[in-house]
Structure 1
Amino acid sequence: MMVTDKTYKNANRRERIIFLVKLLVYAGIVFFNLEHPPFYNKFGWLFKITNALSFFLGANLIISIAWLVILSWYTRRHRTKPIEKDNFVLGINRITSVLNTIFFLLAIPIFFGKDLLQLVTSITIVAAAIALLTKDYIANMINGLIIMFSDQLSLGDQVRIGEYKGRVMDITLINVVLQNEDDDLVIVPNSVIFTAIVLNQSKQNIKKMTIEFELDHKRSFTLEVLEERLRHSIAAFESSYTPDSFSLKIIEIKKDFVQFKIQLLLPHADKTTERSIKRALNTEIIALAEGVE
């Protein structure tokens, strides 16, 4: 999900407050565990809870400190980079969530009095077996991290991935979420991105609009007249696209029809304007197909 720089700063401030609260709670738990109050002897389950909490909070605090240090260092070095499109920040947040989840799962057996070293050894063996069975899933997660820590795809980019195209709304460890022209959310697995041809129009700071259509041979027209009529149909939008970028090409000549392709560049990606241009062009194409002068 995209956030503004102000929202991000507020979230960062909130994270710092939560960190201080967790630090105070952790210090209190450690103090009580060291003092070992007498009521621990009566309520053994309470000691197990505080022991598990101290393990989880200790790990969580270390992760939070690393997160704050890395993020502070990165934001100082990239002050001009929009936070809402920053894959590095997104990747760090995803890794932090995964590590916190792992330590939370490790804290559960501690509550039941299990030996941590023996537990980790057992988990390592089980994890190796699971990794063999879920190698595709793990590969997908690794691909997600590669995408996050690269500049090839960023939040808000207008992209085309194979047959899918739209704006990048979110990048997760499993998939990339696109919003297409119909405002539908398209979920593309990360593994597909690494095997498909990806076109990122936002990296060129332009939006290429393409329309393909067919006209029957029975309609008498020349390429010059056809291009002139199509240009005239979008004359009201001359300031919204690069005039020299307009091109009309013949893709293929069939027995009964000719297949064409219109292309033009929009310097600024505006969905409303793009839809209006497409509507004007499609209206003119329908008129041409019906023989309306």
Structure 2
Amino acid sequence: MFTVKERKTRNEFIVILVKAVIYAALVYFRIYKPSLYDESIFIQQLTSGLFIFLGPSLTVSLLRLVIIVWYIKKHRLKSNIKDNFILGIDRIESILNVVFFALAFIVFMGNDPKAFLTSITIVAAAIALTFKDYITNMINGLIIMFSDQLSLGDHIKVGEIEGKILDITLINMILQNEDNDMVIIPNSVVFSSVIVNQSKQNIRKLSVEFHILLHFGYTPEYLENYLKKVVVGYADYLVLDGLSIKTLSINKDEATFKVQVLLNKYDKQKEREIRREIYTAIMKLSQKQNQVGSAEITDPGNRIN
């Protein structure tokens, strides 16, 4: 069963400590300027680039740590938990570090950052236009991360795709479906789609649609009572009187019904067993008749396991 990701807090402190030590060494070089520093243009450019990168990066890392500690204490969470909010903070830190690294590289190459950025403004605009879909995905990803509507571990349905949220990156949302396959959906698709978050409900719904020929003479009441007996062995997993039958449509030859079962807890294995029992029971109904015909069973988005 999926568990919320845990942060490696020890590694975070080690990274901050290493950044602080290197930054202190760079400050020493720039203040006291040892002979090796004055004699080598390469070392001067290297230390200047590292200084440009590590200063802001260290500041952002410390600010991130303060925000996370405040957030954890406010919500009384485990110190090493990693939820949507913390994930969003991490992604923002990554983006800023990329920006700081780009500026540091410009300085290392001996260019003036302001003049360089001004000279590539047109190029930057063209790049932004070319990669607008990626930028849109990144913005949508950050919005999803800071939203309380979707969380890591939630069981959701996006269109015909259903599964648990394993991760949310700046580009994609990663789901694990019922067959344990990893499904990658672009954030822009998630953001613009109708999403059913089943984990936000107190109960989980299991639905099966099927068509059955009218000449069998099965009424909705008969089908409902019949299927209730079929799932009686799973009473511990079902809401009391949680099975119902809905008539979706009727034509001259067949009727379309929908079985809906309300589960009081999520258990993927038991859900598959219940679904299989319902499929089997519906198929057996047609076998009880001496007439020629069969029941056609459909289940959009699912299949017989």
Output the TM-score relative to the length of structure 2: 0.86
> What does residue range 7-26 of structure 1 map to in structure 2 within 5 Å?
7-8=6-7, 11-26=8-23
Distance 1:84 1:290 in 2: 54
Of 150, 170, 173, which aligns to 1:153?
Answer: 150
* Residue 195 of structure 1, CA deviation: 2.5
Q: Which residue of 1 aligns with 2:97?
A: 100
* Residue 262 of structure 1, CA deviation: 1.0
1:220 aligns with 2:213: no
What residue ranges of structure 1 are gaps of 5+ in the alignment?
none
Question: Is contact 1:157–1:167 with CA below 8 Å preserved after alignment?
Answer: yes
For 2:265, give the aligned amino acid. H
Measured on the aligned residues, the alpha-carbon RMSD in Å equals: 2.3
What residue ranges of structure 2 are gaps of 5+ in the alignment?
291-305
The C-alpha deviation readout for 1:181-233, integer Å capped at 9, x for no partner, is: 11122222222223221111111232111111222234332222221221111
Secondary structure at the aligned position of 1:243 is classed as strand
Q: Which residue of 2 aligns with 1:164?
A: 161
Percent of aligned positions with the same letter in both sequences?
47
After TM superposition, the structure 1 stretch with the greater mean CA deviation from structure 2, 129-138 or 271-280, is 129-138
Assess, with a 3 A threshold, how the Cα gap between structure 1 residues 177 and 221 changes in structure 2: closer, same or farther: same
Secondary structure at the aligned position of 1:155 is classed as coil
The C-alpha deviation readout for 1:153-199, integer Å capped at 9, x for no partner, is: 11111111122211111112222222111112222222222322111
Question: Is contact 1:85–1:156 with CA below 8 Å preserved after alignment?
Answer: no
Distance 2:266 2:4 in 1: 18
Question: Is contact 1:144–1:175 with CA below 8 Å preserved after alignment?
Answer: yes
Output the TM-score relative to the length of structure 1: 0.90
1:53 aligns with 2:50: yes
1:77 aligns with 2:77: no
Secondary structure at the aligned position of 1:178 is classed as strand
1:91 aligns with 2:56: no
Question: Is contact 1:159–1:200 with CA below 8 Å preserved after alignment?
Answer: yes
> What does residue range 1-293 of structure 1 map to in structure 2 within 5 Å?
4=4, 7-8=6-7, 11-80=8-77, 86-291=83-288
Distance 1:229 1:175 in 2: 44
Assess, with a 3 A threshold, how the Cα gap between structure 1 residues 110 and 162 changes in structure 2: closer, same or farther: same
Question: Is contact 2:49–2:104 with CA below 8 Å preserved after alignment?
Answer: yes
* Residue 59 of structure 1, CA deviation: 1.6
* Residue 14 of structure 1, CA deviation: 2.1
* Residue 124 of structure 1, CA deviation: 4.4
Q: How many residues align?
A: 289
* Residue 42 of structure 1, CA deviation: 4.5
For 2:238, give the aligned amino acid. Y
Question: Is contact 1:4–1:83 with CA below 8 Å preserved after alignment?
Answer: no
For 1:258, give the aligned amino acid. A
Assess, with a 3 A threshold, how the Cα gap between structure 1 residues 199 and 145 changes in structure 2: closer, same or farther: same
Distance 1:58 1:205 in 2: 48
Distance 1:83 1:289 in 2: 56
Distance 1:4 1:230 in 2: 36
The C-alpha deviation readout for 1:243-288, integer Å capped at 9, x for no partner, is: 2221111112234322211112212211111111111111112212
Distance 1:60 1:120 in 2: 20
Secondary structure at the aligned position of 2:162 is classed as strand
Higher helix fraction (1 or 2): 1
Secondary structure at the aligned position of 1:183 is classed as coil
Assess, with a 3 A threshold, how the Cα gap between structure 1 residues 234 and 150 changes in structure 2: closer, same or farther: same
Secondary structure at the aligned position of 2:196 is classed as strand
